Amino acid sequence: MPARINQSIQPARRPSLQHGIAQRFLAHGNQRKLELARHLLDGGPLRVVDVGSLGGLQEELRPALELIEAIAFDPNHDDCARLNAAAAEAGHRHRFEPYVVGGEDGERPFYVCRKVSSSSLLRPNREFHSAFSAADRMDVTRVDRVHTREFGRVLRMVDARPEYLKLDAHGIERDLLESLSASQWTGLLAVFTEVLFAPLFIGQGEFGELDATLRERGFRMYQLRRFSGRRAILDPRCSVSRGQLLFGDALYLRSPADVDDDQRRRLALVALLFNHYDLAIDLLRDDPVLARQVEELAGRPRAIRILGIALHLVGRIGGLIGGSPPGFWASDSPFEWS
């Protein structure tokens, strides 16, 4: 939904002192995550499948990119070619395929929107979007006829056995999950998926159905980053309103009781990458050395904690007074998400 930012085309800006400190802090943490990932994977890659990979693999996976074996699908041929070239140059085992995957094989219309990242096999619900600001981003600029491939069959065809699955398919996520075989579900440890709460596309899957499908397979939601939209009736530059919950990004993890010892370590890695340090420590309770290293990564000096809490409080107060963010989108803050 909100477009990924292509950093290569943004105007150069002098980084602030706060930004520089934050970047150094994050870089240090990412290096420690990479070191832990090497121990947890024990020489084998983390197997990732990504549906809707426009812009590349997601940010949370970045610390372990060199240890990931990924196959990703996105209809954008040019983006897939660019990402394949970048992966080859970096020596990463990542493949980006311009396939349109769905719940079954067949010919279907593909609705290309003005905002390309919102394009979908489902037609945007333009009547609903018309109440919100920047509704023209969901205008359909053309309709392509595409051949969809059944997702589960494609995974078998390319011999992909995902442990981590990311779905961003604008309303057909449950169809993709339902196409998986029993053996494909067995190896799956984590699902990161877009969930829709408002009627954004005609014929979209409902959140309750998607959640039930995952819960029936032993998965539980651990994170939900929410995105809300504000109606155009109010000018966000001089008015405050919470808006309507539209969609979210949800992380589901398999129950620790349903995994073997090797899977526990790999599940701990996913928990670690998403900053669920408490779960990672619990999963590694039989390896006190690694558990202690995760605990150290989670730790913050008392002075840093106090400073961080103070800055966060100032930011929240500023948001309450000014009605931040000054646009029609509102989302959980990165602090609440990560």
| 252 token code pair | 């589901």
Q: How many CA atoms lie within 13 A of 191 on its CB side?
A: 28
- Tens digits of pLDDT across the chain (338 residues): 543 433 333 334 455 444 454 455 456 689 999 999 999 999 899 999 999 988 899 999 999 999 999 999 998 899 999 999 999 999 999 999 998 999 999 999 999 999 988 999 999 999 999 999 889 999 999 999 999 999 999 999 988 999 999 999 999 999 999 999 999 999 999 999 999 999 999 999 999 999 999 999 999 999 999 999 889 898 877 777 888 999 999 999 999 999 999 999 999 999 999 999 999 999 999 999 999 999 999 987 677 667 777 776 776 676 666 666 656 666 766 545 44
Check: CB of residue 262 under 8 Å from CB of residue 197: no
Q: Report pLDDT for 325.
A: 61
Q: Report pLDDT for 13.
A: 45
The C-alpha atoms of residue 269 and residue 287 are separated, in whole angstroms, by 14
- Sign of the CA dihedral with 291 first, then 223, 263, and 258 last: positive
DSSP, residue by residue, 30-64: HHHHHHHHHHHHTTSPEEEEEES-TTSS-GGGGGG
The C-alpha atoms of residue 145 and residue 143 are separated, in whole angstroms, by 7
> Strand pairing partners for 246?
none
Buried b (16+ CB within 10 A) or exposed e, 313-330: eeeeeeeeeebeeeebbb
Q: Report pLDDT for 326.
A: 55
How many Å separate Cα 309 from the centre of its chain?
26
Domains of the chain: residue spans and CATH: 15-297+328-337 (3.40.50.150)
From the list 196, 186, 188, 199, the residue with the least C-alpha distance to 166 is 188
Check: CB of residue 141 under 8 Å from CB of residue 167: no
* Residues sharing a CB contact under 8 Å with residue 336, sequence separation 6 or more, in sequence order: 225
